Structure 1
Amino acid sequence: MKGRGCWETASVRSFCSSGCLNKFKKDDSGDDDEEPAAPADKSELHHTLKNLSLKLDDLSTCNDLIAKHGAALQRSLNELDSLKIPPESGEKLKVVNERATLFRITSNAMINACKDFLELAETHSRKWQRALSYEQEQRVHLEETIEQLAKQHNSLERAFCNTPGGPANPSKSLSEGSFLTSKGENSEEDEDTEYFDAMEDSASFITVITEAKEDRKAEGGTGSSSVDWTSADNVREVLDGTSFVPKDSCKVKRRVRIPDKPNYSLNLWSIMKNCIGRELSRIPMPVNFNEPLSMLQRLTEDLEYHHLLDKAVNCTSSVEQMCLVAAFSVSSYSTTVHRIAKPFNPMLGETFELDRLEDMGLRSLCEQVSHHPPSAAHHVFSKHGWSLWQEITIASKFRGKYISIMPLGAIHLEFQASGNHYVWRKSTSTVHNIIVGKLWIDQSGDIEIVNHKTKDRCQLKFVPYSYFSKEAARKVTGVVSDSQGKAHYVLSGSWDEQMECSKIVHSSPSCDGKQKTVYQTLPAKLLWRKYPLPENAENMYYFSELALTLNEQEDGVAPTDSRLRPDQRLMEKGRWDEANTEKQRLEEKQRLNRRRRMETCAAGCGGEDEKESDSYAPLWFEKRLDPLTGEMACMYKGGYWEAKEKKDWHMCPNIF
């Protein structure tokens, strides 16, 4: 007995002195002190796991020995128990037997714990290996992206230097240089002959720019459009883009600045943490997150580049007109790149007019026709021969890290002389880094513009931004096709800077096996370029020149006009505390008016029509069936401008 017990004690001491348990602790905690894993650490992980497995085998051997000798010990104790021994010795023998049993149970528990530890180590090892592989792949991808950017930069510099005229014509050089040669860094190739733009993940086509003479020969053999791109004076004037700034001078002097934005600190998370998944318009938001413009005024900002439509009136070809309409649809997003603040949600019945016939040649009227969901109707008349109307419903969701803004509804544009009627819808806007980081906004999705008279179509793709993408930020691509599906123009650019179009003279399937079409085009023509922001714009909510004038006080407007909204005016002046108080008052007044409408309808209509209790009849617009989309939409019914001329606003509700 004594010899066996000494052997067990020696075995346990030998096992403990081997440092196996210390090795476990070292392997488990060492990751916090060591450097980040390198590629060679994969083999080290395997080596560590192998050592752990060997130690576990040693533990299993020790467990078997302990079990064997423990059983022998218990047999010996049982034999002693069968002998006639004094009662005192029997009690001691019983205690020894219990201790031996506890020792064996503890040993088994230790072995099981070691097995669990090894399984846990193996699981985490696989996770570490996957994380290491992912980081290695991202590093390689980032290196390739940087290398490609360097090659593109060199290619642009060569294209800029080799273009005839050199720096004297930078816009043309940059435009043509943006189409990269297929050989990348081959500086010996003549870069004036052809360029390639391989848009791998953003579009289903590749453009090839060639000399205009060769394209005219190729075009002559196919008998294409009735207007020659390179020779028609009216087309060059409209689409060349050499004069993209309107020349009309404003007779009325407009303001060029507003008070600087105050520096208010606010804990955004304290307000937004309980609002995840809710409709954004139903979240009570202080003016600290707003800009001093209403959603009706933001909707009117879409007209900033109205001159594109004024030029489109003169187009004799519908596909050429489509290019300018597409550029106009993209230009409406250019004001959003820095505008991450939320516009004021208009009160029900609120209106906004833009009466700029003298300098802009148009009149615009917006009215808030629904509060939940927020919906605004808009109508524009231009003396140059076009009209635009839309009803936009804003659907927005707060997702925790970002806000998605989905404008719902169709936009209609009609040219009176030709009868061309265009319809399209807006893309999705996403505001990122709501909680942590710098706020930034992105546009994504596809837009289809349809000319319902000629059946021409334009497919626009807004490429979502990705840090690891090879595409340029805020990129937009598109193709203009006729009713037969034949592509005539390729559009390219970015929604925050400019758009260009290139006339297609030949198309063929891609020879690399991918589902893409290769378009051979003429050099790109500038359609639209963003106006520079005013001086000190960063302190004025990044407003454009037009945006600075939208909330300027004017005489003769309706009493429901956004310019007369008191909380918005107080915010513009920098008195945000007073603006928040006034905003709460206006919202409570709106809720009271809603309850009164419900009570009136309930009393007059009965319980069956109680669902209609919150229905609201707009003042200047009425619901009609849109024959083109098959949807019910609010359309202008007239009377506003006549009321303004008579200065008769007795029919307007008291909402402020």
Structure 2
Amino acid sequence: MKGRGCWDTASVRSFCSSGCLNKFKKDDSGDDDEAANPADKSELHHTLKNLSLKLDDLSTCNDLIAKHGAALQRSLTELDGLKIPSESGEKLKVVNERATLFRITSNAMINACRDFLELAEIHSRKWQRALQYEQEQRVHLEETIEQLAKQHNSLERAFRSAPGRPANPSKSFIEGSLLTPKGEDSEEDEDTEYFDAMEDSTSFITVITEAKEDRKAEGSTGTSSVDWSSADNVLDGASLVPKGSSKVKRRVRIPNKPNYSLNLWSIMKNCIGRELSRIPMPVNFNEPLSMLQRLTEDLEYHHLLDKAVHCTSSVEQMCLVAAFSVSSYSTTVHRIAKPFNPMLGETFELDRLDDMGLRSLCEQVSEPPPPSAAHYVFSKHGWSLWQEITISSKFRGKYISIMPLGAIHLEFQASGNHYVWRKSTSTVHNIIVGKLWIDQSGDIEIVNHKTNDRCQLKFLPYSYFSKEAARKVTGVVSDSQGKAHYVLSGSWDEQMECSKVVHSSPSSPSSDGKQKTVYQTLSAKLLWKKYPLPENAENMYYFSELALTLNEHEEGVAPTDSRLRPDQRLMEKGRWDEANTEKQRLEEKQRLSRRRRLEACGPGSSCSSEEAEKEADAYTPLWFEKRLDPLTGEMACVYKGGYWEAKEKQDWHMCPNIF
């Protein structure tokens, strides 16, 4: 008779032989990839030695169990020979059977442990071989990557010097796709983030025809909301507006960049996946401008907006706004150095009413992570622009993703047209080896919230295997009914053109079942063309004419202005060692300021620990205030006024001492 929960001898032997031992045998066929985890051979030997000692302890325990188990069974056998009641005899049989099972189980356990040790010894040799192989492969891979980087640089130099290279491949706009098929011609990893991406956008093909034919075709489809002949006055030659003359003579050069060599990978290799603003970086990787000044640099082609003021058609105005949004990326093509992260409360003003017709103010309104900057621009020509941009950046290993978050608002006072859009993703490639280069990718949707006109722009990511021109941008401007009026084309580093749509129709489905829209257009009109860089720009951080003036010393600015930042000024003068010392001092001063805000909501107050942290992070900007954006539904910093009045009075008593 068996007691409840007892195993018979056959089941115990079956479990120990097939269950335990088969599991160990199955593990013998494991992957080499997982086996290569131990650090080195000494660790393996140490582990095996410990296992062997534990096995000796188990053997000793097994001997004791066997000895005492045999004695127990003899005692039970003697009891069985005595004259005892039948009920007690049955109980003795059960106890005897359990003792036997216990002895068999302990023997099976020690055998399984012995098998485990043997398998561990076999695996240790396997791990050692796998580890040695992986080390050899790593050395070989490093040598291969270094060789590929050298070949890549040689190919780039050969391409630049090729006699048959076209001067401007983006000038011919024959066929463009607003969205490329997912996964094709893209080198971005799947963790790359894009914001405000357009989904299910139609691809298109443009066909340029004669104006007379197009007007007939247009008449058959209905009256257009834009008269091309009147549009010529505003759109044609929009980029050829001469730069205004300033009463103040601006500088045209800065000291040449010193030739300091520093290995970026040596600093970045331990920072993969971290927020870039949290990584302590020497000024060697910076350019002598702050992020606030880089944000202001977006206004270089402000004349596009001055021109857009005079547009009588909202879709025509949208073309110029779209060209302006693209033009802000043209300064980044050679600018691989990072700007200085602004101090909390740092400001930057651009008072250029005399030549540019505008005033601009930026303020750093939050500290990392992530840092945020508020920006407001007023133009005497009849428009204003404001934004709060939060820079989110991650180091991904082989590239850095820079993702500006936040909406950009542009309003024209006369018409009331209010445009909103967001920036695309910037990517810095070749962090490990090779020449650094920057690319723009993703989608931008510009919306006129008064008329509901829309412009959808696509920044095509660069690929060695793509047939598209490098840095290509395509787009379509449509009205509130979804009818296309203009097709945009060009590149974000050179120029943008627009072509008026006079007829559209779906094309025949391709072999893969996808269908494009065919736009019949008039000849393209130039919207914007990049200004040439100043002479010797390659030795001046590739700064444009406007960028060269941004850090120029100016009287009367706020004491928090970026021009007064000492580490940035020292770097511009080429005194990088002193600049690094100043940078560390300023960063420590900023950390001390945050600790003081934390102590202000410390043990003596009624704040909880979470509230104290929020209080330390909270900062009340001087010139901006948080408001709910009714168009986006987000909280954003908006200019509240007072800066220019304070400048006129030279009353800066409210400004913090941040430098």
Question: Shift in Å at residue 270 of structure 1?
Answer: 2.1
Would you say the 8 A contact 1:159–1:173 is kept in 2?
A: no
Q: Deviations over 1:187-222 (max 9, x none)?
A: 999999999999999971111111111011112233
Question: Shift in Å at residue 612 of structure 1?
Answer: 2.8
Q: Deviations over 1:579-612 (max 9, x none)?
A: 0000000000000011001111235745562433
> Where does residue 379 of structure 2 map in the other structure?
382
Would you say the 8 A contact 1:369–1:618 is kept in 2?
A: yes
Q: Secondary structure at the match of 2:465?
A: coil
Which is worse superposed, 426-435 or 131-140? Answer: 131-140
Which is worse superposed, 263-272 or 633-642? Answer: 263-272
Q: Secondary structure at the match of 1:547?
A: helix
Aligned CA distance change for structure 1 residues 223 and 559 (closer, same or farther; 3 Å): same
Question: Shift in Å at residue 321 of structure 1?
Answer: 0.4
Which is worse superposed, 76-85 or 620-629? Answer: 76-85
Q: Deviations over 1:277-324 (max 9, x none)?
A: 100000000000000000000000000000000000000000000000
Question: Shift in Å at residue 267 of structure 1?
Answer: 2.2
Which is worse superposed, 594-603 or 468-477? Answer: 594-603
Percent identity between the aligned chains?
Answer: 92
Aligned CA distance change for structure 1 residues 67 and 184 (closer, same or farther; 3 Å): closer
Q: Deviations over 1:128-175 (max 9, x none)?
A: 999999999999999999999999999999999999999999999899
Aligned CA distance change for structure 1 residues 190 and 58 (closer, same or farther; 3 Å): closer
TM-score by length of structure 1 reads 0.70
Q: Secondary structure at the match of 1:19?
A: helix
Would you say the 8 A contact 1:281–1:345 is kept in 2?
A: yes
Would you say the 8 A contact 2:286–2:337 is kept in 1?
A: yes
Would you say the 8 A contact 1:480–1:487 is kept in 2?
A: yes
Aligned CA distance change for structure 1 residues 600 and 47 (closer, same or farther; 3 Å): closer
Question: Shift in Å at residue 228 of structure 1?
Answer: 1.5
Once residues 59 and 457 of structure 2 are traced to their aligned partners in structure 1, the CA distance between those partners, rounded to angstroms, is 67
Question: Shift in Å at residue 269 of structure 1?
Answer: 2.2
Aligned CA distance change for structure 1 residues 418 and 148 (closer, same or farther; 3 Å): farther
RMSD: 11.9
> Where does residue 555 of structure 1 map in the other structure?
555
Which is worse superposed, 596-605 or 532-541? Answer: 596-605
Would you say the 8 A contact 2:6–2:98 is kept in 1?
A: no
Q: Secondary structure at the match of 2:342?
A: coil
Question: Shift in Å at residue 394 of structure 1?
Answer: 0.3
Once residues 51 and 217 of structure 1 are traced to their aligned partners in structure 2, the CA distance between those partners, rounded to angstroms, is 91
Aligned CA distance change for structure 1 residues 483 and 295 (closer, same or farther; 3 Å): same
Aligned CA distance change for structure 1 residues 633 and 539 (closer, same or farther; 3 Å): same
Aligned CA distance change for structure 1 residues 551 and 95 (closer, same or farther; 3 Å): same
Question: Shift in Å at residue 47 of structure 1?
Answer: 46
Question: Shift in Å at residue 479 of structure 1?
Answer: 0.5
Aligned CA distance change for structure 1 residues 420 and 21 (closer, same or farther; 3 Å): closer
> Where does residue 246 of structure 2 map in the other structure?
250
Question: Shift in Å at residue 252 of structure 1?
Answer: 1.2
Which is worse superposed, 220-229 or 517-526? Answer: 220-229
Aligned CA distance change for structure 1 residues 598 and 63 (closer, same or farther; 3 Å): closer
Q: Deviations over 1:239-278 (max 9, x none)?
A: 1126523342222110000000001111222211211110
> Where does residue 128 of structure 2 map in the other structure?
129
Question: Shift in Å at residue 176 of structure 1?
Answer: 12
Which is worse superposed, 124-133 or 535-544? Answer: 124-133
Which is worse superposed, 160-169 or 14-23? Answer: 14-23
What is the 5 A alignment of 1:44-443?
A: 204-231=203-230, 234=233, 238-241=234-237, 244-371=240-367, 373-443=370-440
Which of 448, 469, 474 is the matching residue for 2:471?
Answer: 474
Question: Shift in Å at residue 101 of structure 1?
Answer: 36
Would you say the 8 A contact 2:311–2:317 is kept in 1?
A: yes
Aligned CA distance change for structure 1 residues 121 and 578 (closer, same or farther; 3 Å): same
- Unpaired runs of 5+ residues, structure 1, are none
Aligned CA distance change for structure 1 residues 44 and 162 (closer, same or farther; 3 Å): same
Question: Shift in Å at residue 37 of structure 1?
Answer: 30
Would you say the 8 A contact 1:475–1:494 is kept in 2?
A: yes
Q: Deviations over 1:408-457 (max 9, x none)?
A: 00000000000000000000000001121100000000000000000000
Aligned CA distance change for structure 1 residues 182 and 74 (closer, same or farther; 3 Å): closer
Would you say the 8 A contact 1:479–1:489 is kept in 2?
A: yes
Once residues 150 and 268 of structure 2 are traced to their aligned partners in structure 1, the CA distance between those partners, rounded to angstroms, is 44
Aligned CA distance change for structure 1 residues 422 and 119 (closer, same or farther; 3 Å): farther
Aligned CA distance change for structure 1 residues 99 and 624 (closer, same or farther; 3 Å): closer
TM-score by length of structure 2 reads 0.70
Q: Deviations over 1:95-119 (max 9, x none)?
A: 9999999999999999999999999
Size of the aligned set, in residue pairs, is: 651
Aligned CA distance change for structure 1 residues 176 and 133 (closer, same or farther; 3 Å): farther
